[in-house]
Amino acid sequence: MDLTQALAAIVGPAHLLQGPDAAPWARDWTGGYRGQPLAVARPGSTAEVSQILRIAHDARLPVVPASGRTGLTGAAHAPGALVLSLDRMNRIRALKPGPRLAIAEAGVILERLHEAAAAHDLQFPLTFGAKGSAMVGGALSTNAGGSNVLRHGSARDQVLGLEVVLASGRVLDLMAELHKDNSGYALRHLFVGAEGTLGVITAAVLKLVPRPRAHATAMIAVPSVAAALDLLSRLQETTGGGVEAFEYMPRAFIAAHLTQTPGARPPFDSPHEHTILLEVGSTAPRDARPGPDGATPLMSLVEGALAEALVRGQVLDAVLAQNEAQRRAMWERRESAARITFTRPAWVDTDVALPLDRLEEFLATVRRRLAEIDPGADDMVVAHLGDGNVHYTAYPTRGDTDHLAAIRALVDATATALDGSFSAEHGVGLSKLASMRAHKDPVALDTMRALKAALDPHGILNPGKVLPAP
């Protein structure tokens, strides 16, 4: 029996895809990474994942785990490898309103988990533009961030337990529902953010939080990034830490959204250089009861805070959403970022994190340096401003590989020189290997390689990703 026959015997012939049937897995979402996999296996259970990895381990067959394939760094690039698609493992095994947790398999789409939690007045707070196709396994494997990190943290902060299949096929059961467990190494943290290089996440115990009873959502024009961050600090004090999102969209981004989105309307009567999408949430019933004017106390509180900021000069203009339709329109503007970004012939998308007091310095520095190596280049920025995560995309005048690599190196070097990171929430994959080699602490890299060798001695799990060659 050859490998493909053995794999088909595990998952069933209908769930082992080859040739044209495997084509959807042969390219990533951006189209920047293309390569035909050997085959795509779609297991339906943890036991099947275990059997597949036992065979792959013995045969030294490279295995690339895949979820919703919405990544931007080439982490699911799999030419000649076996793609292990977790899309059939899509059960929410349990949703427990009392302890506020969900037990979900890796193939559960985020939006479906959001809907299931909402039915119990709860929320899984990890959310971003690709929530309609991104899956739990991929979100955990990249330690995804999104728009609510400011209040709820990244994916790693949402996990209590994991089920992981190791390269050997052994199943590591870490599915504890405990908020405290001090019994040795916190192994689950090894696999969240490892991009499938240490093991395959098949299920997770996830934290849920109370669903906000009221939101106050607004588009705000500010004179500068520094003014925006000062405003954020004041709003956090005023709302008792209720700010859930503080998203930055400068003038160029707003203009691109208007151009590329039929029916889109500008956020203000006149354009501004710096725009913020603010959302404040509250679970307290008192904040959700409309007053005689129809406004909730939460909306009135935020409106008053913005009016004071207007007097101080921290705010130039502001529009509060008066209903759910207006709120959704504001969020559509922000969540269209990926669609808007990848529209030009040549681009370099980056995902950096900065200390909050170095954000303006980063933007000024990287633009000056970009102009030095490509005077005709353009750029676009969108940011999770409250947690210092900047998505800086450069549009060079030419698209040869060396030039694109030089621009990426410039951006990442600028961020790290300002005590930042070259990877905030998208992961490393293939696109940031050079930056890992250039900027990651050598001792940290050696430690990571030691962990990889211990857990995956034959190097079959997502080979070539995350860790640069020594």
pLDDT in tens, 246-263: 999 999 999 999 999 999
Evaluated on CA atoms 124, 129, 133, 137, the torsion sign reads: negative
User: Which residue numbers in the chain have pLDDT < 50?
Assistant: none
The burial of 36, by beta-carbon neighbours within 10 Å (0-12 exposed, 13-18 middle, 19 or more buried), is given as middle
The predicted structure's pLDDT at residue 413? 97
The predicted structure's pLDDT at residue 115? 97
Say what the pTM is: 0.94
Q: Which of 446, 33, 427 is nearest to 196 (CA)?
A: 427
Structure-derived torsion over alpha carbons of residues 195, 197, 198, 199, reported in degrees to the nearest 10:
70
What's the CA gap between 371 and 337, in Å, rounded? Answer: 24
The predicted structure's pLDDT at residue 112? 97
Longest dimension (CA), the chain: 77
The predicted structure's pLDDT at residue 1? 57
H helical segments located in 17-126: 46-59, 110-118
Residue in the structure block whose two tokens are 């956090």: 236
Evaluated on CA atoms 13, 18, 22, 25, the torsion sign reads: positive
Query: How many Cα atoms are found within 13 Å in the side-chain-facing hemisphere of 427?
Result: 28
Residue in the structure block whose two tokens are 């929430």: 425
What's the CA gap between 458 and 454, in Å, rounded? Answer: 10
Is the CB of residue 78 less than 8 Å from the CB of residue 429? no
Q: Name all domains of the chain by residue range, CATH numbers in brackets.
A: 3-85 (3.30.43.10), 92-210 (3.30.465.10), 214-338 (3.30.70.2190), 344-422 (3.30.70.2740)
What's the CA gap between 37 and 17, in Å, rounded? Answer: 10
